[in-house]
Amino acid sequence: MHRGCQVDPVAERLVCPCHGSEYTREGVVLKGPTRAPLHRFATRVVGDEIVIDLQPLWEGS
């Protein structure tokens, strides 16, 4: 999620459909208009579920 928009995975990058910004899978900016990276969160698998820690590891845009 980036500024209320669901970021879509496209090949080896993430694309914001609202603003057109592109990111690596790690959240680093490849193409603007944004200059800030995406938030990063710790995740783990518990049984058949993916658990996301909502405390950001890195606070981006």
pLDDT in tens, the chain (61 residues): 556 777 767 778 888 888 888 999 888 999 999 888 888 888 999 999 999 998 867 665 4
- Domain spans in the chain, listed from the N-terminal domain onward: 8-58
pTM of the predicted model over 0.85: no
Task: Report d(CA 18, CA 3) in Å as an integer.
Answer: 9
Q: Side chain identity at 55, as an amino acid letter?
A: Q
| Cβ contact 22:11 at 8 Å | no
